[in-house]
Amino acid sequence: MRKIICLSTACILFSPISLIAKEGFMCTNYYENVERKANNIKSYGSSLSQMAKNKLLKDLKFDTEQCISECEGEKFKQCNEVAKWILE
C-alpha cells in the first residue's frame, strides 16, 4: 500500500501537466488579442479613423500589459516587441 501511495505521489509530482500549467487560458486570450489588434492597426494604417486608432491602441496597451504578466517564452517575447512598438 505504501509503495502505491509513493508511486502515485511521484507520478503527480513529475507529471508534465504541472509544467504546462504556467500558461493557461488567460495568456492565450491576451496573446491572441494583442496579435489581432496589432495586425489591425498595421494593416489599416492611415485609413483608420482617429477614434478607431485611439481605441485600438488603448485596448492593445491593456492586453499587452496582461500578456506580459501572464505569458512566458515566445508569447512573452512577442508581447514585449509589441510593447516596444506601442511606445515608439
- What pLDDT digit, counting tens, does each position of 28-74 carry? 999 999 999 999 999 999 999 999 999 999 999 999 999 999 999 99
pLDDT of 20 strictly over 70 = no
E strand or H helix that includes residue 30:
helix 25-44
Give the whole-angstrom CA distance, residue 42 versus residue 64.
16
Name residue 49's amino acid.
Answer: S
Lookup result for grid cell 479613423: 49
Instruction: Give 58 or 1, the one with higher predicted confidence.
Output: 58
* Inter-residue contact 74 to 26 (CB < 8 Å): no
Quick one: pLDDT at residue 18? 45
The reported pTM is 0.71
What is residue 18's three-state secondary structure?
A: helix
